[in-house]
Amino acid sequence: MRFLPHRHPFILVDRIIEMEMDKEIVGLKNVTINEPFFQGHFPGEPLMPGVLILEAMAQVGGILIITSLPEERKGSLLYFTGLDKVRFRKKVVPGDQLLMRITLMRKRAQAVKMFGTAIVDGEKVAEAEMMAFIGEKV
């Protein structure tokens, strides 16, 4: 929470497991039945929405980028600007541990490109290329 502006109920990262600055990060989201989105998605067959899987991946990627910024830019907001090559491969349901591995592909002064993979029980559930703009310090 030190690195993301998100707060409950929209923070979708429970823990960072490992990180190599300017290179790669691995984060974890414990998916529980108490998540507010499960009330309507879908009653009787709870399923984590794909856009929230992508958001969780983006938040993990955001931590990688924000922590890698020089001291004078710490506190800047990161705005996601695009997604490419998005694929959803399996369902994510309550009780799953969503492991997200994000790799930095390219970093410029104001823009970044990352590749993210989401995994449950060793199986890939989603993947995407993510682009973001590094905004002003807040």
pLDDT in tens, 58-92: 999 999 999 988 888 888 889 999 999 999 999 99
- Rounded to an integer, what is the distance from CA 51 to the centroid of its chain? 10
Alpha carbons 68 and 14: distance in angstroms, whole number: 20
CATH (one of 3.10.20.310, 2.40.50.100, 3.30.470.160, 3.10.129.10) for 15-137: 3.10.129.10
Alpha carbons 65 and 46: distance in angstroms, whole number: 32
* CB-neighbour burial class of residue 113 (10 A; exposed 0-12, middle 13-18, buried 19+): middle
Q: Which residues are catalytic?
A: 41
Span 94-137, pLDDT tens digits? 999 999 999 999 999 899 999 999 999 999 999 999 999 998 87
Q: Output the pTM of the full model.
A: 0.94
